[in-house]
């Protein structure tokens, strides 16, 4: 076994890599699939533990610039596609080195492609084109036996900079310098190979309110004339937003970006009454995706305000949900126990508190304890405001964190409930990180972690968890142990504007 093998097609690529990937065998296979086929017996003799195909490539996607790095999520040729799940930690590693890195499909062709052919290939969604990767990757064993494989290419020319231009020669020299620079990262990536155990938290990922909100946007797109606008992110997740955008939804920050008479969806986090009034005045067709559990907090707010209580909201400043609830009237925001010590009310016998639905239960209780001590008659809602999904996901991550070397939480940086899951895991003494997807996982996090806890915030799609497990499986054998603390069967009905 040869350990890590790095394969380059051209002499210049080989020269950029040889001696710069510690402990690796660097090989030159020659340019084009025919030369690759003649070289393949050498690959089977080497029987690598990990394989990287590295070099330069032509850009297809218009966003690519010369010098950008493409890490292939899959390679395609006329026979089909081969998914390369092990490569994603390399994305985060190269980004952390300051490189512009794209992660997506790479296509291999039999000969150099230019002009119209490139435009045709770009329409398939491939980011870049080369001539060797697919033939090399295909020669490796079937997926379940294949060692970790990555394809890394630096862009020389793009669809807008034809191959023969002088600028392309300069870009070629720069690309080779980038290849030299990234070479040591290939070693760090290969060192991730090995067996692991995954502790899967259950429940995790989508809650009933998020499923309903996504369903509402999709139904609105089907039923109403386009464009359909969505005020704020429908739920706080970049993948969900991108997916709905690709279906035609137009996301805006405020109603003044929405033309009169069109359709607007209010996000799951709810809106202040002033926003509803503005929508009515502008004759907008409103489809309200406010989670029923957020709507319940608004109802409580109106009830407490209506009877003249001083109302305190425990929550985070600037969050969409908090902003909406505060809009119900004269409500004071209390974020910490220290603020609870200082908050001033007109009549200490007429005080009520509410809670943002996605807070950490333990942290919120610290604030509640202070308020109850200061205002013994304080009223609380008849049922807990922190929602079932938040509580269950926190219980579930607590149940795995103590036994894990590392906890990965799938979710976006602006997702309150996902951030709270990270904090709950960290309070168990385990390092925990929030990532949007497998591409956000830094190699240093998983290099020495043999037991990895995985969960996902209520706004994060379940397939993101599958992709992380798939990535770990591509790095070595994985044993998955799912720990389910409770089962959820809550479903919310759709609003009449989109119900059948
Ligand atoms: S996290 Fe809770 S409040 Fe928020 S959308 Fe999901 S169920 Fe509703």
User: What is the residue with the minimal CA distance to atom 6 of ligand 1?
Assistant: 209
Q: Which among 341, 349, 346 is positioned nearest to 371, based on CA atoms?
A: 341
- How far apart are the C-alpha atoms of 253 and 264, rounded to whole Å? 12
CB 345 within 8 A of CB 365: no
- How far apart are the C-alpha atoms of 10 and 142, rounded to whole Å? 27
What is the distance in A from the centroid of ligand 1 to the CA of 313?
Answer: 17
**Which pLDDT does position 144 carry in this prediction?**
63
- How far apart are the C-alpha atoms of 397 and 454, rounded to whole Å? 8
* Cβ of 294 less than 6 Å from ligand 1: yes
Q: Which of 107-116, 149-158, 230-239 comes out lowest in average pLDDT? A: 107-116
Q: Which among 32, 62, 302, 276 is positioned nearest to 161, based on CA atoms?
A: 62
Q: Which of 66-75, 155-164, 218-227, 385-394 comes out lowest in average pLDDT? A: 155-164
What integer is the mean pLDDT of 150-176?
Answer: 77
**Which pLDDT does position 146 carry in this prediction?**
83
Q: Rounded to two decimals, what is the model's pTM?
A: 0.91
* Cβ of 43 less than 6 Å from ligand 1: no
Active site residue 321: yes
User: What is the residue with the minimal CA distance to atom 8 of ligand 1?
Assistant: 209
In this predicted structure, the answer to whether residue 162 has a pLDDT above a threshold of 60 is no
What is the distance in A from the centroid of ligand 1 to the CA of 57?
Answer: 45
* Cβ of 291 less than 6 Å from ligand 1: yes
146 burial (CB, 10 Å; 0-12 / 13-18 / 19+) is middle
What integer is the mean pLDDT of 169-197?
Answer: 92
- How far apart are the C-alpha atoms of 413 and 431, rounded to whole Å? 17
Q: How many alpha carbons lie under 13 Å from residue 192 in its C-beta half-sphere?
A: 27
**Which pLDDT does position 111 carry in this prediction?**
82
Question: Residue 91, Cβ neighbours under 10 Å: how many?
Answer: 26
What is the distance in A from the centroid of ligand 1 to the CA of 358?
Answer: 7
What integer is the mean pLDDT of 28-32?
Answer: 95
Q: How many alpha carbons lie under 13 Å from residue 24 in its C-beta half-sphere?
A: 29
In this predicted structure, the answer to whether residue 231 has a pLDDT above a threshold of 80 is yes
**Which pLDDT does position 160 carry in this prediction?**
61
CB 258 within 8 A of CB 281: no
* Cβ of 208 less than 6 Å from ligand 1: yes
**Which pLDDT does position 34 carry in this prediction?**
93
Residue 458 Cα: closest atom of ligand 1: 1
Pocket test for ligand 1, best of 266, 294, 416 (most atoms within 8 A of CB): 294
Band (pLDDT 50/70/90 cuts) for residue 140 is confident
Band (pLDDT 50/70/90 cuts) for residue 171 is confident
User: What is the residue with the minimal CA distance to atom 5 of ligand 1?
Assistant: 209
**Which pLDDT does position 113 carry in this prediction?**
82
> Cα-atom radius of gyration of the chain, to the nearest Å?
27
In this predicted structure, the answer to whether residue 1 has a pLDDT above a threshold of 60 is no
Residue 292 Cα: closest atom of ligand 1: 8
What is the distance in A from the centroid of ligand 1 to the CA of 208?
Answer: 7
Among residues 27, 74, 300, 321, the one annotated as catalytic is 321
**Which pLDDT does position 118 carry in this prediction?**
85
In this predicted structure, the answer to whether residue 101 has a pLDDT above a threshold of 60 is yes
What integer is the mean pLDDT of 230-235?
Answer: 97
What integer is the mean pLDDT of 398-409?
Answer: 98
Pocket test for ligand 1, best of 458, 488, 493 (most atoms within 8 A of CB): 458
**Which pLDDT does position 159 carry in this prediction?**
64
Task: Report pLDDT digits (tens) over 366-396.
Answer: 999 999 999 999 999 988 899 999 999 999 9
In this predicted structure, the answer to whether residue 468 has a pLDDT above a threshold of 90 is yes
In this predicted structure, the answer to whether residue 269 has a pLDDT above a threshold of 60 is yes
- How far apart are the C-alpha atoms of 291 and 223, rounded to whole Å? 21
* Cβ of 268 less than 6 Å from ligand 1: yes
Q: Which among 393, 268, 256, 245 is positioned nearest to 320, based on CA atoms?
A: 268
What is the distance in A from the centroid of ligand 1 to the CA of 153?
Answer: 42
Question: Residue 57, Cβ neighbours under 10 Å: how many?
Answer: 28
* Cβ of 70 less than 6 Å from ligand 1: no
Question: Phi, psi (5° rounding) for residue 50?
Answer: -155, 145
The Cα angle at residue 417 between residues 439 and 202, in degrees rounded to 5 = 75
- Mean per-residue pLDDT over the chain, rounded: 94
* Cβ of 360 less than 6 Å from ligand 1: no
By percentage, how much of the chain surpasses pLDDT 90? 90
First to last CA, the chain: 61
Q: Which of 154-163, 204-213, 320-329 comes out lowest in average pLDDT? A: 154-163
What integer is the mean pLDDT of 68-85?
Answer: 95
What is the distance in A from the centroid of ligand 1 to the CA of 283?
Answer: 29
In this predicted structure, the answer to whether residue 2 has a pLDDT above a threshold of 80 is no
- How far apart are the C-alpha atoms of 319 and 77, rounded to whole Å? 46
Q: Which of 112-116, 316-320, 473-477 comes out lowest in average pLDDT? A: 112-116
188 burial (CB, 10 Å; 0-12 / 13-18 / 19+) is middle
User: What is the residue with the minimal CA distance to atom 7 of ligand 1?
Assistant: 209
What is the distance in A from the centroid of ligand 1 to the CA of 268?
Answer: 8
């Amino acid at each position: 076994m040869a350990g890590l093998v790095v394969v380059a097609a051209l002499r210049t690529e080989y020269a950029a890599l040889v001696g710069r990937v510690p402990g690796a065998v660097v090989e030159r296979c020659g340019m084009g699939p025919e030369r690759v086929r003649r070289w393949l017996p050498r690959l089977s003799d080497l029987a690598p533990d990990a394989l990287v195909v590295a070099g330069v490539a032509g850009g297809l996607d218009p966003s690519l610039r010369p010098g950008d790095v493409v890490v292939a999520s899959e390679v395609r040729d006329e026979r089909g596609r081969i998914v390369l799940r092990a490569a994603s930690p390399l994305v985060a590693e190269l980004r952390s080195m300051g490189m512009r890195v794209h992660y997506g499909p790479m296509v291999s062709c039999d000969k150099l492609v230019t002009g119209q052919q490139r435009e045709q290939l770009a329409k398939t969604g491939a980011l870049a084109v080369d001539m060797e990767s697919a033939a090399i990757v295909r020669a490796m064993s079937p997926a379940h036996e294949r060692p970790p494989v990555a394809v890394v290419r630096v862009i020389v020319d793009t669809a807008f900079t034809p191959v023969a231009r002088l600028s392309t020669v300069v870009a070629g020299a720069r690309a080779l310098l980038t290849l030299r620079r990234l070479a040591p990262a290939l070693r760090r990536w290969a060192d991730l190979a090995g067996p692991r155990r995954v502790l899967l938290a259950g429940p995790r990922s989508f809650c009933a309110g998020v499923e309903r909100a996504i369903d509402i946007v999709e139904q609105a797109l089907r039923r109403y004339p386009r464009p359909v606008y969505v005020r704020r992110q429908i739920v706080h997740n970049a993948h969900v937003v991108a997916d709905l955008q690709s279906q035609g939804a137009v996301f805006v920050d405020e109603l003044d970006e929405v033309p009169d008479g069109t359709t607007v969806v209010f996000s799951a986090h709810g809106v202040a009454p002033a926003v509803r009034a503005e929508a009515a005045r502008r004759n907008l067709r409103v489809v309200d995706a406010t989670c029923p559990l957020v709507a319940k907090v608004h109802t409580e707010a109106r009830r407490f305000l209506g009877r003249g209580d001083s109302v305190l909201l425990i929550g985070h400043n600037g969050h969409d949900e908090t902003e909406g609830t505060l809009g119900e009237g004269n409500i004071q925001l209390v974020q910490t126990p220290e603020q609870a010590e200082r908050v001033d009310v007109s009549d200490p016998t007429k005080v009520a508190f509410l809670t943002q639905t996605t807070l950490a239960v333990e942290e919120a209780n610290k604030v509640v304890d202070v308020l109850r001590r200061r205002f013994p008659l304080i009223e609380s809602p008849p049922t807990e405001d922190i929602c079932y999904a938040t509580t269950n996901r926190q219980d579930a991550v607590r149940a795995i964190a103590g036994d894990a070397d590392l906890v990965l939480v799938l979710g976006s940086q602006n997702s309150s409930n996902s951030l709270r899951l990270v904090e709950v895991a960290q309070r168990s003494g385990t390092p925990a990180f929030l990532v949007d997807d497998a591409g956000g996982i830094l190699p240093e996090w998983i290099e020495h972690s043999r037991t990895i806890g995985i969960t996902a915030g209520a706004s994060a799609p379940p397939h993101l968890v599958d992709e992380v497990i798939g990535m770990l499986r591509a790095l070595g054998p994985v044993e998955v142990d799912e720990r389910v603390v409770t089962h959820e069967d809550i479903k919310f009905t759709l609003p009449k504007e989109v119900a059948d």
